[in-house]
Amino acid sequence: MKMPKIPGGQMRQLMEEAQRMLAEAEQFEQEMEQLQVQATAGGGVVKATVNGKGMLLRLEIAREAIDPDDPEMLQDLVVSAVREAQNQAETIRTQRMEQITGALGGFGGLGLPF
């Protein structure tokens, strides 16, 4: 497939737009690193905190959640809290990405043929 030629002025505009998009992507990644999302399970006895990338940052377990005779229940609560926090982070990440790409109007409104 042959790529169309882009006139000099449009090439400069394309390069500027690419630099702006790169800066936005870097800012987005920093925001996701700093974002903290918390979810609970078992009525709040297990709390999981993840960052915007879904990485587990903190896990809190209340004493009353620890039953030596039923470790499987605690395991299930931990998995549930972590998954919920990760799902919430992914939703936020997706929404934020849609805001960024929507603001760009596809390819920044450059009228590119692809």
- Write the DSSP symbol of residue 2: P
27-103: CATH topology is: Ybab; Chain: A; (3.30.1310)
Domain ranges of the chain: 27-103
Residues with Cβ within 8 Å of residue 44, at least 6 apart in sequence: 62
With left for phi above 0 and alpha for psi between -120 and 50, is residue 111 left, alpha or beta? left
pLDDT per residue over 4-57, tens digit each? Answer: 666 667 888 888 888 888 888 889 999 999 999 999 999 999 999 999 999 999
What average pLDDT score do residues 68-76 get?
97
pLDDT band at 112 (very low <50, low <70, confident <90, very high): very low
**Taking the CA atoms of the chain, what radius of gyration do you get in angstroms?**
22
Residue 76's identity, in one-letter code, is D
CB atoms within 10 A of CB 50: 26
pLDDT tens per residue, range 76-105: 999 999 999 999 999 999 998 888 777 655
Does pLDDT of 109 surpass 90?
no
DSSP assignment letter at 93: H
